[in-house]
Amino acid sequence: MNTREFIIYLAIMALSTYLIRAIPFALLTKKIKSAYIKSFLHYIPYTVLTVMTVPGALYATGHVLTAAVGLVTGVVTAIRGKDLTLVAAAACAATFLTELLVYLI
């Protein structure tokens, strides 16, 4: 790819990103009154974060099974109200022990 193509691609990406962020501000000048739309918009950041995180978590190791064990352990630990350090440590330990078990078998 030469410099000219790169600049064109970069400009298209920047424009599309800007439009995605600017169009709602330009079109939605009034306050949103619908409880349904407010609720929908409230959960979008959590949905996007989950969609970006879960596939990465499932393919972080050599086996999807070991990654799933770590992910489930982390989710269960977090649901029980433990702090973030313990959640991360439990997920890492579960993944490591499952990888070790898979390696030994």
Say what the pTM is. 0.63
Taking only the tens place, the pLDDT of each residue in 85-101 is 999 999 999 999 999 99
Buried b / exposed e across 23-45, counting CB within 10 Å, b at 16+? eeeeeeeeeeeeeeeeeeeeeee
The boundaries of the domain holding residue 96 are 33-104
Q: Are residues 19 and 60 in the same domain?
A: no
Q: How many CB atoms lie within 10 A of CB 54?
A: 13
Taking only the tens place, the pLDDT of each residue in 28-84 is 778 888 899 889 989 999 999 999 999 998 998 889 999 999 999 999 999 999 999
Maximal CA-CA distance, the chain: 62
Q: Are residues 52 and 92 in the same domain?
A: yes
**Rounded mean pLDDT, 7-11:** 94
Q: Are residues 49 and 2 in the same domain?
A: no
pLDDT at site 25: 80
Overall domain count for the chain: 2
77 or 2, higher pLDDT:
77
Q: Are residues 37 and 82 in the same domain?
A: yes
Residues in contact with 70: Cβ distance below 8 Å, sequence separation at least 6, in sequence order: 57, 61, 91, 92, 94, 95, 98
Q: Are residues 55 and 74 in the same domain?
A: yes
